Structure 1
């Protein structure tokens, strides 16, 4: 599974699709990337990632933490955010993509400090997965209310 995603991230021919487990790992890795965007990877952000993964995929806390640990390793090895977003775009129906952005904002807001790097990454990710700036702003507002 990990090797399959790495191959997709490093240039496997078009047409490959992710199974549900791979899509979860890609999503988790993108959450880790967002949390690390400001060069700080805080315990609050880690807890938020685990919470998002647990809720989104109905995982136990231990299973969510294990998925995050695997995603941390994947995120370190994959240099291209654009390919991560392509995997997410392919795996997540359009109607659910604003929830993906909301989850990312929820992680970014964990430390109560939005850096320019985090803002820029979220703008890019939202655009790449087809979520408008307006819908991203609404997702951010929902994430702020959920804190």
Structure 2
């Protein structure tokens, strides 16, 4: 799952010139998932940091920089399209499905199933070109991972 996200940054910069760094765009979506219920819990932030470190092989200082930028963008965002547009262009379908699973991991990090977080991921999936079936499977995988922790 994380291997596909790592490949996102190995793409030819001539063919993919997004307006926003794909690291930041994907992370902003993760932050927005955490903010969807109105509470940005430490466990959600920790989950995002874990995802960043594993998916992008970032050191702790780089994780903090990316997360700080993404938090600033997410808190000031009017809508999700700025982020989803970059992610959809820069990631393959398999990578976008992995991101949906990671969004579920963030939403489930606090141990609660918030209808607001659920609605957020349901809204984001079609914007990323992910079918309902794949979204449901991604959620099941995320729930299984949370249960096995």
What interval of TM-score do these two structures reach, taking the shorter chain for normalisation?
0.7 to 0.9
- Check whether the contact 1:17–1:90 (CA below 8 A) recurs between aligned residues: no
Which residue in the other structure is 1:27 paired with? 26
In the superposition, the TM-score normalised over structure 2's length comes to: 0.82
Which residue in the other structure is 1:92 paired with? 91
Report whether the alignment pairs 1:62 with 2:73. Answer: no
Report whether the alignment pairs 1:71 with 2:54. Answer: no
Per-residue deviation, 1:58: 0.6
Query: How far apart, in 1, do the equivalents of 2:144 and 2:113 lie?
Result: 15
Equivalent residues in 2 for 1:79-118, closer than 5 Å: 79-118=78-117
Per-residue deviation, 1:140: 1.0
Secondary structure of the corresponding residue to residue 17 of structure 1: coil
RMSD: 1.9
Query: How far apart, in 2, do the equivalents of 1:65 and 1:134 lie?
Result: 33
TM-superposition CA deviations, 1:85-137 (whole Å, max 9, x none) = 11110111122111010010010000111211111110110111111111111
Query: How far apart, in 2, do the equivalents of 1:95 and 1:66 lie?
Result: 26
Per-residue deviation, 1:17: 2.8
Equivalent pairs counted in the alignment come to 132
Report whether the alignment pairs 1:17 with 2:17. Answer: yes
In the superposition, the TM-score normalised over structure 1's length comes to: 0.83
Runs (4+) of structure 1 exceeding 4 A deviation are none
